[in-house]
Structure 1
């Protein structure tokens, strides 16, 4: 399984331009070479590289298409795009095992107004993918394609994400909507506020393609792959991303051929390569949707002028960070269902003691935190505030 072909290296160089500081990033993107079409593959690989560089830097990826189109017409370009991307160069291009790899170097000035709380990582819960119609997996015996897709997706997300800590749930969540008790249990047991669910809506075979078949062999057929993905904030009951991805490729095997999706052989097929590209795109979309979300720390203990938070160095919290206390109260919505309501207070606390997964923070003014309760929350005060 080709999982490490996409790489991202931060070049530890800084350039001074007036009062702004740019970092040089080098990123390698990859795309499947289909039917010898190097132009299309080069464009897809370049877009992949630019997207990864922007994501890693913390800049927005809304300029990817504009940057990519510019790179395809010249080897170096200078682009003013909301102060984010200044200079982008194609460093190298290689072809290997049916892939085009393009390495770019970019000078990026992240937009200072883009996101707050970027230093903190969100806990993302991933529900194992499911095949909606398992009868479609009969040919090829692709019953493990949901498990394999989950593994590859998580690998891609780990490669591209600077915003999340990823945890795979032990079982798939199939409910369309979760109850308050279900949502509370997920947050309590796994520490995650964000949930990703996905299903393989279509892995069926299409009509015969081409003429390379005889009476002793099966005809080549097109095979589809449709991924339906939903990313949600289970605390706010808010959908952050709902997206359908689809692709197809020639399935050049006899109907009796068994090929496990957990093998290298499968992922070297045209079908496997097409799926990998879809999963890579999905992972990058999830990263983009998550990274500007405000992270909250739950208060698990109150001791006079100090509170214990369930965030630590693992999530990127640092000693000296200041946070605002949020009061959490429950209320019933118009359907009679319990919901959380957060109210911003004027109380501020500063992190004094830090472990990997928790932190003690004390009142900035050493005031008693009498109105603060276990279950309230705190959010990081941005340097921009």
Structure 2
């Protein structure tokens, strides 16, 4: 399967001088060409590209469908929306391997409600996807579809994400609820506060479709793909995003045909193309849900008026960044379960030394940090740039 490459360029363009300026973003999008309907495929590919441009600009992507309902032509799309996107131009379009690929330039206005900590990247732990009913994978021998879906989802998220660092866990997490100890162990061992879990809930075959009843071939059947996805903050023990995605496509292979989900042949089938579109949408939804979440640095060492943080240049921290210290205390919730409680203190620290993974920060007023303990946290309050 050919995956669309994301190309972004930024040109500052003054659209309304002295009032507000917009930026041009260039992005590539892709959509499956179904039944020769190029108009529908072009619109879907344009929507995909607009979503990517919005993500990289830091604007909201929740109204992309409304945004792309403007006047769409081969050359450009003039939008009726008065929101963040005012104009989209299609600058190139190609058709290849059953896909329509478009490159657009989008005129995006700054979002006044943009996240303040968008520059810093969150560590996202990804639990490998699991097939809930493995007998549904029998036809086609699709037992590796969970692993293949995981890999493609990660690739799609890397294409669309500017706010997260991804880490694939070695084994799936199957527990519905993680204990306080389990959540703490995940954070200590893998350095991530956010966890994504997903399962393939339905890979079943439906009724016969079409007229393929020849004696040498099995009848074509509809095949389903249902993805259940959950994004959670394991430190605060809360669900940030939960969604079920469903699609289906004609399965026109014989029941005895074996096709590996790790091959290009599988992803060139209508079923594979439909799955790829679902995974692309899911990746962009996860990015949207995660990007405005807080980035917290754990304090791993306290030395009089300075502390060592487990956050570094890899996450986007800079020399001179100022952070607030948060006291971390344990308490029991109404169910008797241990939870962390963070309380913002009046103490401020500034980054003075920086490595790839860590940073030293000292008290702004050179006060002794006597009440600060290992395990407390810090969060960005201002940027040096």
TM interval, shorter chain, is over 0.9
Distance 1:46 1:355 in 2: 40
Q: Write the deviation string for residues 244-270 of structure 1: whole angstroms up to 9, x where unpaired.
A: 001011111111100000001000010
Deviation at 1:78, TM superposition (A): 5.6
Aligned ranges for residues 26-45 of structure 1 at < 5 Å? 26-45=26-45
SS at match of 2:51: helix
Are 1:296 and 2:288 an aligned pair?
no
Deviation at 1:38, TM superposition (A): 1.7
Deviation at 1:21, TM superposition (A): 4.5
Q: Match for residue 372 of structure 1? A: 372
How many residues are paired up?
381
Aligned ranges for residues 242-257 of structure 1 at < 5 Å? 242-257=242-257
Q: Match for residue 150 of structure 2? A: 150
Distance 2:80 2:104 in 1: 15
Aligned ranges for residues 1-385 of structure 1 at < 5 Å? 1-3=1-3, 5-11=4-10, 13-16=11-14, 17-18=17-18, 20-72=20-72, 75-77=76-78, 81-82=82-83, 84-382=84-382
Distance 1:146 1:364 in 2: 49
Deviation at 1:212, TM superposition (A): 2.0
Deviation at 1:332, TM superposition (A): 1.2
Deviation at 1:46, TM superposition (A): 1.0
User: 1:133·1:202 contact (CA, 8 Å) conserved in 2?
Assistant: yes
Distance 1:312 1:156 in 2: 25
SS at match of 2:7: strand
User: 1:71·1:90 contact (CA, 8 Å) conserved in 2?
Assistant: no
Deviation at 1:233, TM superposition (A): 0.5
Distance 1:351 1:22 in 2: 33
Deviation at 1:76, TM superposition (A): 4.0
Gaps of at least 5 residues in structure 2 are none
Deviation at 1:290, TM superposition (A): 0.3
Q: 1:78 to 1:34 in 2, by over 3 A?
A: closer
Distance 1:197 1:137 in 2: 20
Distance 1:360 1:112 in 2: 32
Distance 2:383 2:321 in 1: 10
SS at match of 1:8: coil
Q: Which runs of 4+ in 1 moved over 6 A?
A: none
SS at match of 1:7: coil
Q: 1:194 to 1:206 in 2, by over 3 A?
A: same
Q: 1:46 to 1:341 in 2, by over 3 A?
A: same
Deviation at 1:337, TM superposition (A): 1.2
Superposition RMSD in Å? 1.6
Deviation at 1:207, TM superposition (A): 0.9
TM-score (norm 2): 0.96
User: 1:136·1:203 contact (CA, 8 Å) conserved in 2?
Assistant: yes
Gaps of at least 5 residues in structure 1 are none
